[in-house]
Chain A
Amino acid sequence: MADKVIYATYDDDTVLLEGAKKLVAKGVHIRDVFSPFPIHGIDPVIGVKQTRLAICAFIYGLIGLSLALVGMYYFMIVDWPMNIGGKPNDFFYQNIPAFIPITFEFTVLLAAHGMALTYFLRNWTLPGVEARNPYPYTTDDKFVMEIHPADNHVTVDELSQMLNETGSILIEER
Chain B
Amino acid sequence: MQQEAAIREPLILGEKTYGQITDDVMAPVVGKANRSWWIVFGISAVMALWGIGCILYLLGTGVGTWGLNKTVGWAWDITNFVWWVGIGHAGTLISAVLLLFRQKWRMAINRSAEAMTIFAVMMAAVWPGIHMGRIWLAYFVFPLPNQFGSLWVNFNSPLLWDVFAISTYFSVSLVFWYIGLIPDFATIRDKVTQAVPKKVYSLLSFGWSGNAKAWNRFEEISLVLAGLATPLVFSVHSIVSMDFATSVIPGWHTTIFPPYFVSGAVFSGFAMVQTLLIIMRKVMNMEDYITIKHIEYMNIVIIVTGSIVGVAYLTELFISWYSGVEYESYAFLNRATGPYAWSYWIMMTCNVISPQLFWFKKLRTNIMFTFFMSIIVNIGMWFERFVIIVTSLHRDYLPSSWTMFHPTFVDIGCFIGTIGIFFVLFLLFARFFPVLPLNELKTILKSSGEQYKKHNQEH
Query: Of the 9-residue stretches B30-38, B51-59, B206-214, B276-284, which lies at the interface with chain A?
Result: B206-214
Contacts of A124 in B (CB 8 A): 207
Once the chains bind, are B214 and A105 in contact (CB under 8 Å)? no
Once the chains bind, are A76 and B156 in contact (CB under 8 Å)? yes
Best-surrounded residue of B160, B210, B216, B232 (most CB of chain A within 10 A): B210
A126-B206 in contact given A38-B215, A89-B156, A104-B235 (Cβ < 8 Å): yes
Query: Of the 9-residue stretches B117-125, B185-193, B358-366, B422-430, which lies at the interface with chain A?
Result: B185-193
Once the chains bind, are A133 and B209 in contact (CB under 8 Å)? yes
Closest to B221 in A: A119
Query: Of the 9-residue stretches A135-143, A153-161, A162-170, which lies at the interface with chain B?
Result: A135-143
Contacts of B215 in A (CB 8 A): 35, 37-39
CB distance from B143 to the nearest CB of A (A): 6
Provide the bound-state CA to CA distance between A66 and B327, in Å: 42
Question: How many cross-chain pairs have Cβ atoms below 8 Å apart between A and B?
Answer: 200
Residue-wise, chain B 199-234 has the 8 Å CB interface mask toward A (1 for contact) of 000110111111111111111110011001101100
Once the chains bind, are B161 and A136 in contact (CB under 8 Å)? no
Once the chains bind, are A112 and B225 in contact (CB under 8 Å)? yes
Q: Is B385 an interface residue (CB 8 A)?
A: no
Once the chains bind, are A128 and B203 in contact (CB under 8 Å)? yes
CB distance from B97 to the nearest CB of A (A): 15
A50-B161 in contact given A34-B211, A105-B168, A124-B207 (Cβ < 8 Å): no
Contact of B228 among A40, A71, A111, A132 (CB under 8 A): A111
Q: Is B151 an interface residue (CB 8 A)?
A: yes
Provide the bound-state CA to CA distance between A51 and B217, in Å: 6
Contact-size category for A: 35 or more
Q: Is A79 an interface residue (CB 8 A)?
A: yes
Q: Which of B157-191 contact A (CB under 8 A)?
A: 157-158, 160-161, 164-165, 167-168, 171-172, 175-176, 179, 182-183, 186-187, 189-191
Provide the bound-state CA to CA distance between A42 and B214, in Å: 12
Contacts of B167 in A (CB 8 A): 109
Q: Is A150 an interface residue (CB 8 A)?
A: no
Contacts of B213 in A (CB 8 A): 32, 48, 51, 123
Q: Is B438 an interface residue (CB 8 A)?
A: yes
Closest to A87 in B: B156
A35-B210 in contact given A54-B220, A112-B172, A116-B179 (Cβ < 8 Å): yes
Contact of B202 among A36, A48, A131 (CB under 8 A): A131
Provide the bound-state CA to CA distance between A115 and B176, in Å: 11
Q: Is A122 an interface residue (CB 8 A)?
A: yes
Once the chains bind, are A105 and B171 in contact (CB under 8 Å)? no
CB distance from A66 to the nearest CB of B (A): 16
A109-B190 in contact given A126-B206, A131-B202 (Cβ < 8 Å): no
Contacts of A131 in B (CB 8 A): 186, 189-190, 202, 205, 207-209
Q: Which of A24-77 contact B (CB under 8 A)?
A: 32-40, 42-43, 46, 48, 50-51, 53-54, 57, 71-72, 75-76
Interface on chain A toward B: helix, strand, loop, or mixed SS? helix
Contacts of A123 in B (CB 8 A): 208, 213-214, 217
Once the chains bind, are B235 and A51 in contact (CB under 8 Å)? no
Provide the bound-state CA to CA distance between A33 and B158, in Å: 50
Q: Which of B410-459 contact A (CB under 8 A)?
A: 438-440, 442-443, 446
Contacts of B22 in A (CB 8 A): 36, 140-141
CB distance from B237 to the nearest CB of A (A): 12
Once the chains bind, are B152 and A80 in contact (CB under 8 Å)? yes
Q: Is B19 an interface residue (CB 8 A)?
A: yes
Provide the bound-state CA to CA distance between A12 and B315, in Å: 56
Q: Is A106 an interface residue (CB 8 A)?
A: yes
Provide the bound-state CA to CA distance between A53 and B172, in Å: 16
CB distance from A65 to the nearest CB of B (A): 13
Closest to B213 in A: A48
Once the chains bind, are A101 and B220 in contact (CB under 8 Å)? no
Provide the bound-state CA to CA distance between A138 and B438, in Å: 13
CB distance from B61 to the nearest CB of A (A): 32
Q: Is A4 an interface residue (CB 8 A)?
A: no
Q: Which of B1-20 contact A (CB under 8 A)?
A: 1-2, 17-19
Provide the bound-state CA to CA distance between A115 and B207, in Å: 19
Provide the bound-state CA to CA distance between A68 and B179, in Å: 26
Provide the bound-state CA to CA distance between A115 and B189, in Å: 26
Provide the bound-state CA to CA distance between A104 and B216, in Å: 28
10 additional A-B residue pairs with CB within 8 Å, beyond A33-B211, A87-B156: A98-B155, A102-B155, A112-B172, A112-B176, A115-B221, A115-B224, A127-B203, A129-B207, A133-B210, A141-B19
Q: What are 10 A-B residue pairs whose CB atoms fall within 8 Å in the complex?
A: A35-B215, A75-B155, A76-B152, A80-B150, A102-B155, A102-B164, A108-B172, A129-B207, A132-B211, A139-B186
